[in-house]
Structure 1
Amino acid sequence: MFKISEFSKLSQVPAKTLRFYDQLELLKPAYTDQQSGYRYYTSEQLLQLHRILAFKDLGFTLEQIRQLLHDNVSPAEIRGMFRLKQAEVQRLVQSEMERLTRIEARLHQIERGGGELPSHEVLVKRVAPIMVLSLRETTSRASIPGLFEEIDTYLQWAGVPQTAPHMVVWHSCLECESSINLEVACPIPHQVPDSARYRTNVLPEMTVASVTHISRPELESAVSVDLGSWIEMNGYRINDEVPSREIYTPMQEDGKQIYVTESQMPIITAGVAL
């Protein structure tokens, strides 16, 4: 057996924490000397301690951990809990990474300051109507790559080769907070079977202010500053009747996938009634 100081050194858990776990009946010593009060542990108790620490790292409270240990939860049930908790932590990490990216993009916009000319070339063009297969969701930008893969799978099932770039149509959503009302679409040569999730529709013709840049669909881009400045300086207004679009064409650069992105903002001439 090991004295508490030895067990602490072996497990790299402070003796104070081990005494606290003893009080909570999370990890009782294998033997306690009634005269001296010294606590002694066995090497087998390291497994139980590691289980406690794993539960703790995954966010369970000490009370929850004690209940789990006392209920003698099976390894299969523990693995299931770990997977659920892991998914929760991954979502949290993804959310915080998205927040960090937004902060960095907005910091870049702030550092550019006012009065600076747009750094991207803006073009005005007429976009023709186009038939697409699409699915619409209220979600986050982080889900867009997965939605691209999902719609590709459906097109493959429908016998339509996916050769055209992916599109994202940004719909307004007054009630949305952190989520975004978007439509992932892919141009198709002919109509394919609709389902509860997918539908064939025609995106309308529109006049757009267009900017081509490098970006990733799951991350925000700073080109809105350039678009907004250009629209104001050139006597246009944003057409509220038509949602904006982005077209993503994947490319390989230095072994990494990047996206050549065309951002299309629908516009009308200032003073023209909608």
Structure 2
Amino acid sequence: MFGIGDFARLGLVSVRMLRHYDAIGLLRPAHVDPFTGHRSYQAAQLARLNRIVAIKDLGFTLEQVSAILDEKVSTEELHGMVRLRRAQLEAQISADLARLRGVESRLRTIETEGHLRTAEVVLKKVSPIRVAELGARAAGYVAEDIGPVIKPLFAELCRRVEAAGIRIAGPGIAYYRAEDDGSVMAHACLPVNVDVGSYDFLVHDLPGMEMAATVIHHGPMEAAGATFQALAHWIEENGYRSLDLAREISLHCPADLAEWVTEMQIEVTGA
């Protein structure tokens, strides 16, 4: 038998924690001295303590821990719970990192406000173009919502176009449409020179733009907000009005995202 202090040391927990576990019936001492109230534990109880701590650290409440232990969870089941929790934590970490990148991008947008040079904006006519296209829904316009949707969409579209034996005839084009429920439909397009036919992707003609305000963005798309907002300021300051058509043309997409080159296009009218 071990006193509560020794048992806490052996189990790598605090005495206070053991007292709390006793109070809620999660881990009762093997013996309590009726005169002094001193608690004593058996070495065999370390097995239950280990399970309590492991399950609690997976994010379960103590009430849930108690219910799980009552079901006599096996070691293999505990490993399965760890694997599931690891996947959940990795997803959360990924989401948090994406959110942090979004904050950093927003700060860069704030820092660069007003620094876009007029000469960087080019007004031009954009011709219609035939494309292969796939679409998917994103939760919103923020980078952490768009990125995980549009990137796999382009990868899948490339796979399908190549499987159909079709040659890609130009750089990728992305555009987005807001839905009534607040979500966004992301569209990935690849220029092709084929007739409209029966494929496992859409083949159609993207409409042209009589006049588009365009600017080149250098770097990852997560940081493109500053470029798009600067372009919006230019459009307004020069007396133009934007129409409901904007596109991103992927001119250069190497492995290093810092070297990406993307042309931003916003259809405009009237000077």
Q: TM-score, normalised by structure 1?
A: 0.77
Contact 1:169 1:183 in 2 (8 A): yes
Structure 1 pair 186/83, CA: closer, same or farther in 2 (3 Å)? farther
Which residue is equivalent to 1:118? Answer: 116
Q: How many residues align?
A: 258
Deviation, 1:84, is: 4.3
Which residue is equivalent to 1:170? Answer: 176
- SS of residue in 1 equivalent to 2:264: strand
Deviation, 1:64, is: 1.4
Which residue is equivalent to 1:250? Answer: 253
Which residue is equivalent to 1:157? Answer: 163
Contact 1:119 1:226 in 2 (8 A): no
- SS of residue in 2 equivalent to 1:101: helix
Structure 1 pair 10/220, CA: closer, same or farther in 2 (3 Å)? farther
- SS of residue in 1 equivalent to 2:216: strand
Percent identical: 34
1:204 aligns with 2:207: yes
Structure 1 pair 16/156, CA: closer, same or farther in 2 (3 Å)? farther
Contact 1:238 1:265 in 2 (8 A): yes
User: 1: distance between equivalents of 2:78 and 2:259?
Assistant: 39
Structure 1 pair 23/238, CA: closer, same or farther in 2 (3 Å)? same
Alignment of 1:1-274 (within 5 A): 2-29=2-29, 31-35=30-34, 36=36, 37-42=38-43, 46=46, 48-75=48-75, 77-112=77-112, 116-119=114-117, 121-139=120-138, 140-143=145-148, 144-160=150-166, 164-176=170-182, 179-190=183-194, 191=196, 193-195=198-200, 198-206=201-209, 207-217=211-221, 221-240=225-244, 242=245, 244-248=246-250, 249-253=252-256, 258-270=259-271
Contact 1:158 1:192 in 2 (8 A): no
Structure 1 pair 24/109, CA: closer, same or farther in 2 (3 Å)? same
Contact 1:122 1:227 in 2 (8 A): yes
Amino acid at match of 2:261: V
- SS of residue in 2 equivalent to 1:73: coil
- SS of residue in 2 equivalent to 1:239: strand
User: 1: distance between equivalents of 2:25 and 2:171?
Assistant: 59
User: 2: distance between equivalents of 1:162 and 1:50?
Assistant: 58
1:206-246 CA-partner distances (Å, limit 9, x unpaired): 13212212243456521122101211222211112x3x111
Structure 1 pair 25/235, CA: closer, same or farther in 2 (3 Å)? same
User: 2: distance between equivalents of 1:182 and 1:153?
Assistant: 18
Over aligned residue pairs, what C-alpha RMSD do you find? 3.1
Structure 1 pair 22/138, CA: closer, same or farther in 2 (3 Å)? same
User: 1: distance between equivalents of 2:22 and 2:93?
Assistant: 33
Deviation, 1:103, is: 2.7
Q: Moved runs in structure 1, 4+ residues, more than 6 A?
A: none
User: 1: distance between equivalents of 2:207 and 2:22?
Assistant: 69
